[in-house]
Chain A
Amino acid sequence: MAYDKSIRPPFAGLWKGMWATLKALFRRPPTVFYPEEKEIPVPRARGVISLDTEACTVCMLCARECPDWCIYIEGHKEEVPPSKPGGRPRTRAKLDRFDIDFALCMYCGICVEVCPFDALFWSPEYEYSEYSIADLLHPVERLTEWLDTVPEPPALESS
């Protein structure tokens, strides 16, 4: 690497710096003014977890695989009357409670990955800050609300 280590007389660097500042004055800034302008997150961005209660079978896989145990699930079995007369009554798992504590969550995405029934999805939404840390515990109602914001997966690079 041929780098000149000699120190030239001063001020050349100073003027160069000033010249750079002057040029930057007329450049378009790369920043955005946040509340007015918003950057659109990429579709794969891990913003918030949404829940599809219809698909959830209360199998507890997500709660068990979560590295910091921030998912709280409670459920019970209930009997569904037979669909056809003479049929067998079936038992179905019913979700009583599904809370994700986003104050504890570390956004690793393991719960979404292990869900075998497609009940959990990532949404790139990020505006859910709260004044109280307890409000970051999202109950079922809030988790299902996020479902509308789940984007389509991006197209892939042809290989």
Chain B
Amino acid sequence: MESYQLALDLAPPRRLHFSNFLYTDCRAAVETLRRGLEPGAWYFVAGPAGCGKTHLAAAVFNQALEAGQQAQFLPAARLERATLQAMLESVSCPLLVLDDVDRLAGDQSLEEVLFHALNRWKADRLTLVMTGTGRNNFQLPDLKSRLGAATRLTLKLPDEALRRRILEQMAGELEMDLRPRALDYLLTHGPRNLRELSGLMETLRGRALGQRRGITVPLIKEVTGQ
């Protein structure tokens, strides 16, 4: 029978900062968020799932807190509906990061809550950074129109060269020994979506620690069921 050792979580989770956000062709978006946020302005970071939007959103949030500013982070897709609604209704700080705003699209009552919240935030001159696919699939015309006023910053899915650099960086941060063959395998067979890739890396790390194995192609196949 196979025995597993409980993984010791020695390394902290990946901190999401501007300094560890790797990119090639979205410098203007990154720099706007890093040093170009205007107080009271709204920004919409748009791009397909897994292109790094949440990383940038968290980087904005972390940078603000480290500068002593009050900020809140709302991962819309991760919060229960009632919690999300209560949070939208109670936000009270100069900077809000609202991740995955698409979560609210199509939900009439949540759309209305967001619409009223936007009016309050506008009056309070709150700085708002939102992320989403940017399809603007909202039903409430007033909400659509308000979101349309945000400065839109677009990200793309990383190409293979960039994904290689990102994988190497993730491995370093998670203190993982990622062999070249395993890296190549992940690049060709692993998810293109960065969120999924990051999740897979965390799982691999746990499994490798638990079984005292290196990160090898067989281990990846085992974990991904390929």
Asked if A and B are interacting partners, one says no
B-binding residues in A (CB < 8 A) = none
* A-binding residues in B (CB < 8 A): none
